[in-house]
Structure 1
């Protein structure tokens, strides 16, 4: 047997005998995974998939798996590429009343003023902003997307619960208000086609900045998702990008829009508004939560399991949890932690997630370098015992296990080779 990254050895799946396991759908690209990761994943598929069902009948709760999208199923970010394409092609509309507060309940006065100064005189409300030629407007919007700050360094968002929301992620969809869902999917499809046709490493000019221009599907994740489907385990995409973006990209790995969870906006008179659909019965309104950290758990429980109200914010009993969950960043921590079969992590050096992954409390964490352009070894250690956790108010603190104990600082041990 091959040792896992933490030094433990994977155990065989359930009580399946050799002939049973031969009937289980197998990963075709198992050799591309690091260490014992393919075995951990295959064991979960064997244990919970159709080859272990009694008399071939699925359990009462159909087994399912959940995946983050950006930098988990693909390399790079669909929200980035869609916004880049929209800025280069004049697809962002002037907000109602030229008032940028209408794009986020969390926007600061400084943020709204900066955006109005840069873009407010360029188009009537609901009309396209000329961001392909007006670099000042394009740069201001891009600065908000990339840094959450104005071009002169002032904070643009304030006050969200940072275990439920990332206001800048939500803003990507909110600035596309005024389109119908079908129109936004069409924009996302144009951006997808451009990103997939661009060579790996290609860049593009957006405003006065040079930005990444390409995306690729990971063949290994495509293989994993298709293997899960053959095994009777339903794969779902759970993205912190707008749902319309994920709807367009999901079919590339065989996931349809009915199995896609993303940031969902309220539709009024057929058009997207700047308001978000909610979860968890939060008293401060639907705009206060999205698929982000604990919000991902909430939307999984609400959408897949039908759990309503505050209960959706809490972990479900083991029998109702996903078989497998995959992610790469802080936004995925709660979702990945909830998996009962295997926790799949692509290493992008995101501290809280990597603290839990390397701690490997249940010996079922499969940590893998990114399949394209993996990061080299991170210098030093992850500050798990001090600052790797971010609370609802944005304050740093230690990462704790379920029993309250603090995870010690962790070394980065699963990484790509430094290129010569």
Structure 2
């Protein structure tokens, strides 16, 4: 799942190239030691002070700074560097705009790839309360997509997108494909659900995915934050019956994270991303200057697929670990810690998929947790962070946010969507 890293030679992008740019070589010498400090913005006071201290002690102002042994951080992307999930935002955009480069036969195989034939979680039953499994739902999507493929002018037909939007098959295709993604995630483990959604880019090359990602990101950044619902048409129940699914809408950039990453880099500290979203999507968001994060493309570690002649193949990249859960730690160790000889000084995350990398490196001085009031292992780390608020030299920091606005709050406490009361920990 990893693609590219500043570790001598670029790994996993289908080509070899020197990844240490002249800009990276000279960053330390270009920084004046009395410049470029973190902005307060909406950081909690405790977190702001701790992050400033980290930068002062480990950046170019630090007495032990070595430009040949640059310190680095590793951050999650979705719901850590941004508000909401870019992979999921792009999925709905891809569906609504029929951005696919597969034949009906190819999509049919992708839909079923690696999915057990068990019934989905009972929360995913159809409108009549009947269980649904991959065979039932995939057969309906097959039929919808065949109709779309033969009629849409972006494929083999002559009808416009607006014409297609009026059809029951279009509405059924979007609702049932989004329902399928949701059901896979609710029923099976992350090592099944996370790669599955990336297979929908099969047939595209890197530039096509990046162009699609930019359009989808721009669209989602302009969407209202909220929850939307889709229900398949009553007149086209198919094999699976009528199904409904809800999903989060809207993306937001986080000014605090934009400023943090740029400030770190300007102080001679490298920034890497380790994300469970597809690599070309994360590259687009993290590296395109228009989004103001400015993380170098070669510093993006994320989910990766096989490529043949630069075209994406719906197969997980051979020899790579999925960049979720323990796979994040394995990836960081393989491409960074083992090559550099030391671990990240800061790791940032928000969910269970980030717990391993938040805990596994002795060199980590700060584990920054975006507070989503979650339970489980990330809840346990959040409790450690909450117990340490106001103390010196703590490892875990908890940063609050407001889910109604998609912004950080100047507090460790968060406000959940459609709520007004702030909370510190999961209840």
TM above 0.5, yes or no, is yes
Aligned mates of 1:293, 1:372 — CA distance in 2:
24
Aligned mates of 2:316, 2:267 — CA distance in 1:
35
Deviation per residue, 1:3-45 (Å, 9 max, x gap): xxxxxxxxxxxxxxxxxx983742112x522241111222222
Q: Which residue of 2 aligns with 1:357?
A: 382
2:86 to 78, 82, 85: 78
Change (3 A) 1:226 1:140: same
Q: Does 1:292 align with 2:324?
A: yes
Q: Which residue of 1 aligns with 2:206?
A: 181
Q: Which residue of 1 aligns with 2:273?
A: 237
Contact 2:205 2:312 in 1 (8 A): yes
Aligned mates of 2:345, 2:35 — CA distance in 1:
15
Aligned mates of 1:46, 1:172 — CA distance in 2:
41
Aligned mates of 2:298, 2:180 — CA distance in 1:
31
Aligned mates of 1:303, 1:121 — CA distance in 2:
43
Q: Which residue of 2 aligns with 1:334?
A: 356
Contact 1:188 1:248 in 2 (8 A): yes
How much does 1:371 deviate? Answer: 5.1
Deviation per residue, 1:250-293 (Å, 9 max, x gap): 132111321111101110132111112255xxxxxx5xx41001
Q: CA RMSD in A?
A: 3.4
Q: Does 1:263 align with 2:263?
A: no
Change (3 A) 1:363 1:204: same
How much does 1:294 deviate? Answer: 0.8
Question: Can you give the 5+ residue segments of structure 1 that lack an aligned partner in the other structure?
Answer: 1-20, 280-285, 308-315, 376-412
2:175 to 139, 163, 169: 139
Equivalent residues in 2 for 1:210-249 (5 A)?
211-249=247-285
Q: Which residue of 1 aligns with 2:401?
A: 370
Equivalent residues in 2 for 1:251-330 (5 A)?
251=287, 252=291, 253-279=293-319, 289-305=321-337, 320-330=342-352
Deviation per residue, 1:26-76 (Å, 9 max, x gap): 2112x522241111222222222111154x64253x211111111111111
Q: Secondary structure at the match of 2:180?
A: helix
Change (3 A) 1:204 1:147: closer
Q: Which residue of 1 aligns with 2:415?
A: 416
Equivalent residues in 2 for 1:6-25 (5 A)?
23=34, 25=36
Deviation per residue, 1:346-398 (Å, 9 max, x gap): 111232112023225983111011255389xxxxxxxxxxxxxxxxxxxxxxx
Q: Secondary structure at the match of 2:220?
A: helix
Deviation per residue, 1:221-271 (Å, 9 max, x gap): 111111111111111111110001101101321113211111011101321
Contact 2:371 2:382 in 1 (8 A): no
Q: Which residue of 2 aligns with 1:347?
A: 371
Deviation per residue, 1:298-328 (Å, 9 max, x gap): 1222233466xxxxxxxx9xx6111111111
Change (3 A) 1:26 1:278: farther
Q: Which residue of 1 aligns with 2:141?
A: 119
Question: Can you give the 5+ residue segments of structure 2 that lack an aligned partner in the other structure?
Answer: 1-31, 119-132, 150-154, 233-243, 407-411, 422-427
Contact 1:243 1:262 in 2 (8 A): yes
Change (3 A) 1:343 1:146: same
Q: Which residue of 1 aligns with 2:60?
A: 50
Q: Which structure shows the higher helix fraction?
A: 2
Aligned mates of 2:294, 2:338 — CA distance in 1:
23
- The answer to which structure, 1 or 2, has the higher relative contact order (CA under 8 A, 6+ apart) is 2
Aligned mates of 1:235, 1:76 — CA distance in 2:
21
Q: Secondary structure at the match of 1:121?
A: helix
1:33 to 43, 57, 75: 43
Contact 2:76 2:275 in 1 (8 A): yes
Aligned positions, number = 331
Contact 2:304 2:316 in 1 (8 A): yes
Aligned mates of 1:206, 1:58 — CA distance in 2:
56
Aligned mates of 1:137, 1:125 — CA distance in 2:
10
Aligned mates of 1:167, 1:370 — CA distance in 2:
30
